[in-house]
Amino acid sequence: MKNILITGGGGYIGTNLVHSLLNENYKIKVIDTFWFGNYLKKNKNLKILKKDIRNSTDQDIGKPDCIIHLASIANDPAAELDPGLTWNVNVLATYNLINLAIKKGVKKFIFASSGSVYGIKKEKKVTEDLSLEPLSEYNKSKMIGERILLSYKKDIDLTILRPATVCGYSPSMRLDVAVNALTFGALNKKEIKVFGGKQIRPNLNMDDMIDAYKFFLKKKIKKNKHINDTIFNVGFENLSIINIAKRINKLLKLKSKIFIEPSNDPRSYRQNSDRIINKGFKPKKKIDHAIKEIKNKFNEKKIFKKESFYRINTLKIINTKKFNNV
């Protein structure tokens, strides 16, 4: 398992995943529109195809051993901007990709779904067995993406990950995800703006996210796996937003003012990731590591206010309608 195709390999998670796999001598091909910039370092084992996955062809795919499918309109507000684009990218392009993968005899397919597919749950521990009641266009498109892929699981080794909100540094930084946004606010303006605050949400360190992809990449190939071997939550720290804010102040020895604003997202739940842990995955890092890392990168001037670090701003700037016609 050496040749890996990564869609969305230019994004927040993709950039770190690509660099990490190149360090282990994998041969990587990235297909990405690079809407938020290209921070991938040149490498003899890296091929880059700047292209929209909605138009991927046989030739674009090549003949990889595994596809890691990250390309997506990747958060709620960005997905609501243009729901047509969201469904085309997150669902129809996923359908196209799995068909190409099977046609080309690709052995493994790993899909980035999202922990947000569960919607509002009264159960305090959200396991993979609970029903999906997605609320937003983003969550719904991820659920349907999963369903499409599951209908092909007899033909390919399929893994679906439902990650919590990721935190930590990436050269293709995102400042629109919880821990990153709050930490940046504290460092940049000595202000932390919290929406709601009491909701409990699951979080995940970037390094554990990368390790989770590698964990499944290295697992033995098996088609038609049981659902318990196919779908995995990945989130190891369930924390209230207000506690994250307090923790940032404490860790960074800051006295940032915490503003509490009303939230329009009532979800509050604890993601349970016992299934992946029982398979042998060991998370290594905490959000505290991410907070300190963000501080260091901020001091090195690698994290600063930039439109593309807030995905929705870039998608607003780009005329998204244009992409529907590609």
Ligand X SMILES: NC(=O)c1ccc[n+]([C@@H]2O[C@H](COP(=O)([O-])OP(=O)(O)OC[C@H]3O[C@@H](n4cnc5c(N)ncnc54)[C@H](O)[C@@H]3O)[C@@H](O)[C@H]2O)c1
Binding mask 68-87 for ligand X (x = CB under 6 A): --xxx-x-------------
Q: Which is nearer to ligand X, 154 or 179 (CB)?
A: 179
| Residue among 143 and 154 whose Cβ is closer to ligand X | 143
Distance of CA 290 to the CA centre of its chain: 16
Q: Is 53 in the site for ligand X (CB under 6 A)?
A: yes
Nearer to ligand X, 33 or 230 (CB): 33
Task: Report 231-250 residues binding ligand X (CB under 6 A).
Answer: none
Q: Does 22 bind ligand X (CB under 6 A)?
A: no
287-299 and 241-251 helices cross at what angle (nearest 10)? 50
Residues that contact ligand X, how many (by CB under 6 A)? 30
Half-sphere exposure of 109 (CA within 13 A, CB side): 32
Does the protein bind ligand X through residue 32 (CB under 6 A)? yes
231 pairs with which residues across the strands? 160
Closest separation in Å from C-beta 105 to ligand X? 23
**34 Ramachandran zone, left/alpha/beta (phi>0; psi -120 to 50):** left
Select from 94, 283, 294, 93 the least CA-distant residue to 182: 294
- Which of 3, 20, 27, 34 binds ligand X (CB under 6 A)? It is 34
Can you tell me the distance from the alpha carbon of 221 to that of 1, in angstroms, rounded to the nearest whole number?
10
- Per CB under 6 A, the list member of 35, 109, 269, 309 interacting with ligand X is 35
Identify the residue among 5, 21, 22, 36 touching ligand X (CB under 6 A): 36
Contact region with ligand X (CB under 6 A), list: 21-29, 67-75, 275-283, 292-300: 67-75
Least Å from the CB of residue 103 to ligand X: 19
Residue appearing with tokens 């990218």: 89
Whose CB is nearest to ligand X? 11
Q: Which stretch binds ligand X (CB under 6 A): 47-55, 223-231, 252-260, 271-279?
A: 47-55
Classify burial at 97, counting beta carbons within 10 Å of its beta carbon; exposed 0-12, middle 13-18, buried 19 or more: buried
Q: How far apart are CA 311 and CA 300, in angstroms?
A: 22
Report the relative pairing of strands 237-240 and 200-205 from DSSP bridges. antiparallel
Please say which residue, 93 or 187, places its beta carbon nearer to ligand X.
93
**CB of 169 vs ligand X, minimal distance in Å:** 13
CB of 11 to ligand X, least distance (A): 2
Per CB under 6 A, contacts with ligand X among 113-172 are 114, 163, 165-166, 172
| Identity of the residue, 35 or 298, whose beta carbon is nearer to ligand X in the bound complex | 35
Smaller CB separation from ligand X, 26 or 138: 138
Quick one: which of 48, 68, 89, 132 contacts ligand X (CB under 6 A)? 89
Told to check if 39 binds ligand X by CB under 6 A, we report: no
Helix 178-189 / helix 287-299 crossing angle, nearest 10 deg: 40
| Long-range contacts of the stretch 88-93 (C-beta < 8 A, 24+) | 88/54, 88/324, 89/53, 89/54, 90/138, 90/141, 90/142, 90/144, 90/145, 91/141, 91/144, 91/145, 91/148, 92/54, 93/52, 93/53, 93/54, 93/56
- Nearest-approach distance from CB 180 to ligand X, in angstroms: 9
- At a CB cut-off of 8 Å and minimum separation 6, what does 171 contact? 15, 16, 39, 302
Residues that bind ligand X (CB under 6 A): 8, 10-14, 31-36, 52-54, 70-72, 74, 89, 93, 112, 114, 163, 165-166, 172, 174, 177, 311
